[in-house]
Amino acid sequence: MKNNKAEGRSKGKKPGERSKFKGESKKPYPAKRQGVKKFADNRSKEDLAPKKARPGIKNYNPDEIRLNKYIAHAGICSRREADKLIGAGAVTVNGVIVTDLGIKVKRTDNVHVGEQRIRPERPVYVLLNKPKGFITTTEDPFDRKTVMSLVKDACKERLYPVGRLDRNTTGLLLFTNDGEMAEKLMHPSNSIHKIYHASLDKNLKQEDMDAIAKGIKLEDGQIKADDISYVNDGDDHRQVGLEIHSGRNRIVRRIFEHLGYQVVKLDRVIFAGLTKKDLPRSKWRFLSAKEIDYLKML
């Protein structure tokens, strides 16, 4: 009786039809899968080849890169700024001025921006815990100590600091040869947040703290903190934590000086979500892949 029922279930079903009976497979019949396999077997070697190796794709060359991307990877500037340089006729490829924004070049081409020959490099991201007494510049005519000496052995690629920390300010400073990333992190419209630990010469009054949170007017315009609080409990109100996204020169020091305070120490403890965890003073480290992805999503 069971065999008859089984036979009855198999009769009248079309290939690929799902069973209405509990316990039977709901996957397509083997006949349909065999059809897929037959189609795959009939494909040519060209069809199965990776896309970059296919000869029929017009104008495709895996060895070529857009010129603006080439310039950005060389650490000169962002792609948007590179487009401006190209449009202005400031870029030559193999001795010929190019103004076509969509042009592609090979990595072996001779590319100049102005008088400088550039070469694309792998993007590198280095985070330094800057000590006191170093200026944030690539070169100094007065032979003062620069932050470049602290990361000179990090890689063979030439690095550039993202933004500035003044000579007596310590803390996080990012270096990269990725011009596009650097511009994004420095541009005011992107509101990249930084957190500072400021040590003042005297206790910060509550009314002055409220004024900083509400906004004060400096010589170069209005400024306010995104967040501000005392670091320590109790009566010691000289230690202040300040979160701000402005990139104006010496902005934290100028905020307190405007209200009659002197900043004895200033330490940047967070920059664009990056922290000083496990990074001693004067030491550097490469960013992790996760941190790089995070910065790209900002």
Extended strands (E) in 82-226: 91-93, 96-97, 104-106, 111-113, 116-118, 125-130, 160-161, 169-176, 194-200, 216-218, 221-223
Question: Which DSSP symbol is given to 52?
Answer: G
Question: Distance between CA 59 and CA 65 in Å, rounded?
Answer: 12
Residue type, 84: K
Kind plus residue range of the DSSP H or E element containing 264: strand 263-271
Q: In the chain, what are the helix, strand and coil shares in percent, each to the nearest 5?
A: 30, 25, 45
- Picking from 69, 165, 83, 155, the residue whose alpha carbon sits closest to that of residue 120 is 69
Residue type, 124: V
Cα dihedral 142, 147, 151, 155 in deg (nearest 10): -70
For every residue of 185-227, DSSP letters joined together read: HH-GGG---EEEEEEESSPPPHHHHHHHHH-EEETTEEE--SE
Tell me whether residue 166 is one of the annotated catalytic residues.
yes
For the beta carbon of residue 17, count every other beta carbon within 10 angstroms: 10
Point out the catalytic residue in the list 166, 220, 227, 293: 166
Question: Distance between CA 286 and CA 284 in Å, rounded?
Answer: 7
Residues 174 and 161: beta-carbon distance below 8 Å: yes
Quick check: helix, strand or coil at residue 164?
coil
Residues annotated catalytic, as ranges: 166
